[in-house]
């Protein structure tokens, strides 16, 4: 498919982070630089709350403190000028190459057809219907909104910016935004498109793609503010790098083995429910 490229990027690649997860920034940056194709026509933004960071290839922007949806809405309304947003988070670490040819064609088709949301990860919760359109062997499928889950999700997605802003209701934390946002989208019933471009955590494809479609892949390395087992291959890769990367691998290994949160704290202990009731009763009788 020969689609002419635009001169100025119409898409912002946004990495939306929180400052408590700064420990993950070097890992995201290292593997993004290794696997991303920088011929992709986007402008790169790395969004913190208040932290000053220097991430290669990215412009740092700040949302200030606040709830998840409020911070993201501020960024979209005040910091990002591009009409479309390719959304990432800092715990999504690439481990297979990305093709600029695929993305530049996707961007052109999206702008041409005024698509509002294109999901780019495979997941069992998505039920799709094929369309006649393909890019690099990937079918551009359409979500069956009635039978699919997580119409609102925070996986890698290409969004029309104004449409994404409409999904960000004041005061919503990320889990509420996904849950309530999905209910809102089911009621609205917009056209949502889907491409199996990224295999997230080893998920198999949803759609009937052509043989030449070889997906990229990333793993989410964060689970409940701690490193999950998916971080282990990345630690192994960093151990083969320079001294700085090896030192970071040691830090990751320490966090993983000792169940430390990303800010270096120990995992909060869950108080036994009977002990909790006992302590509550003691306070009453004092």
Distances (CA, A) of 97 to 44, 79, 90, 204, 259: 18, 29, 18, 17, 30
Query: Can you list the alpha helix ranges (DSSP code H) found in 21-138?
Result: 25-35, 68-78, 100-113
Superfamily of chain region 11-220: Spore Coat Polysaccharide Biosynthesis Protein SpsA; Chain A (3.90.550.10)
Per-residue pLDDT reduced to its tens digit, 137-192? 999 999 999 999 999 999 999 999 999 999 999 999 999 999 999 999 999 999 99
Q: pLDDT for 16-33, tens place per residue? A: 999 999 999 999 999 999
Q: Find the angle CA(174)-CA(178)-CA(182) to the nearest 5 degrees.
A: 160
pLDDT computed for residue 131 by the predictor: 98
The mean per-residue pLDDT over the stretch 58-85 comes to: 99
Q: Is the pLDDT of residue 95 over 70?
A: yes
Q: Would you call 63 exposed, middle or buried from its count of C-beta atoms within 10 A (0-12, 13-18, 19+)? A: buried
Kindly report, residue by residue over 120-143, the tens digit of the pLDDT. Answer: 999 999 999 999 999 999 999 999
Average pLDDT over the chain, rounded to whole? 93
Classify 72 in phi/psi space as left (phi over 0), alpha (psi -120 to 50) or beta: alpha
The predicted model gives 82-92 an average pLDDT of: 99
Cα angle 43, 45, 48 (rounded to 5 degrees) comes to 175
DSSP element (H, E) containing 250:
helix 243-257
User: Does residue 40 register a pLDDT over 90?
Assistant: yes
pLDDT band at 106 (very low <50, low <70, confident <90, very high): very high
pLDDT digits (tens, 9 = 90+) for 222-279: 999 999 999 999 999 999 999 999 999 999 999 999 999 999 998 766 544 455 555 5
Task: Please tell me the predicted confidence (pLDDT) of residue 268.
Answer: 66
- What is the reported pLDDT for 270? 56
pLDDT of residue 7: 58
pLDDT score of 6: 45
Q: How far apart are CA 268 and CA 256, in angstroms?
A: 15
Structure confidence at residue 189 (pLDDT): 99
Confidence of residue 286 (pLDDT cuts 50, 70, 90): very low
* Sequence ranges of the domains in the chain: 11-220
Cα distance from N-terminal residue to C-terminal residue, the chain: 77
- For residue 85, the surrounding DSSP H or E stretch is strand 84-89
């Amino acid at each position: 498919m020969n689609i002419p490229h635009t001169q100025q990027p119409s898409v912002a690649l946004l990495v939306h982070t929180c400052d408590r997860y700064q420990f993950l920034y070097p890992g995201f940056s290292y593997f993004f630089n290794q696997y991303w194709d920088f011929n992709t026509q986007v402008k790169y933004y790395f969004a913190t709350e208040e932290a000053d960071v220097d991430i290669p290839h990215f412009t740092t922007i700040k949302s200030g403190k606040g709830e998840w949806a409020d911070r993201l809405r501020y960024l979209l309304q005040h910091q990002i000028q591009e009409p479309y947003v390719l959304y990432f988070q800092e715990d999504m670490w690439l481990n297979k190459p990305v093709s600029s040819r695929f993305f530049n064609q996707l961007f052109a088709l999206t702008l041409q057809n005024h698509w509002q949301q294109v999901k780019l990860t495979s997941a069992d919760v998505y039920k799709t219907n094929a369309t006649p359109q393909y890019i690099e062997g990937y079918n551009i499928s359409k979500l069956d909104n009635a039978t699919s889950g997580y119409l609102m999700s925070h996986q890698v997605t290409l969004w029309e910016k104004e449409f994404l802003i409409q999904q960000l209701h004041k005061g919503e934390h990320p889990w509420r935004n996904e849950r309530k946002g999905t209910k809102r989208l089911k009621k609205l019933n917009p056209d949502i498109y889907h491409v199996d471009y990224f295999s997230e955590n080893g998920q198999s494809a949803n759609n009937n793609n052509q043989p030449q479609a070889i997906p990229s892949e990333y793993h989410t390395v964060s689970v409940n503010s701690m490193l999950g087992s998916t971080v282990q291959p990345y630690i192994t890769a960093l151990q083969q790098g320079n001294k700085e990367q090896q030192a970071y691998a040691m830090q990751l290994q320490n966090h993983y083995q000792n169940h430390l949160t990303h800010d270096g704290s120990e995992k909060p202990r869950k108080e036994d429910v009977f002990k909790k009731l006992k302590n509550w009763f003691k306070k009453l009788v004092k």
